[in-house]
Amino acid sequence: MLWLRSALFNLFFYAWTAFVSVSMLPALLWPRVLGVKVAKGWIAGVNVGLRLICGVRVEVRGRERMPEGPVLIAAKHQSAWDTIELLAICGMPAVVLKRELTWIPLYGWYIMAMGGIPIDRSAGARALKDMVRQAKLAVAQGRSVLIFPQGTRVAPGRKLEYQPGVAALYSQLGLPCIPVALNSGLVWPRRQFLRPSGTITVEFLTPIPPGLRREPFMTTLEARVEAASDALAALARPSSGP
User: Is residue 131 included in any domain, yes or no?
Assistant: yes
Q: What is the pLDDT of residues 46-93, one digit of tens each?
A: 999 999 999 999 999 999 999 889 999 999 999 989 988 888 899 889
User: Is residue 82 included in any domain, yes or no?
Assistant: yes
User: Is residue 26 included in any domain, yes or no?
Assistant: no
DSSP secondary structure, 95-125, as one string:
EEEEGGGGGSTTHHHHHHHTT-EEE-GGGTH
Q: What is the pLDDT of residues 192-203, one digit of tens each?
A: 888 888 899 999
Q: What is the pLDDT of residues 89-120, one digit of tens each?
A: 998 899 998 888 777 777 777 777 777 899 88
Number of separate domains in the chain:
1
Q: What is the pLDDT of residues 204-221, one digit of tens each?
A: 999 999 999 999 999 999
**Structural domain that includes position 157:** 56-235
Whole-number Cα distances in Å, 158 to 39, 41, 83, 150: 31, 33, 19, 11
User: Is residue 140 included in any domain, yes or no?
Assistant: yes
Give the β-pairing of 94-98 and 56-61: unpaired
CATH of residue 73: 3.40.50
User: Is residue 47 included in any domain, yes or no?
Assistant: no
pLDDT band at 41 (very low <50, low <70, confident <90, very high): confident
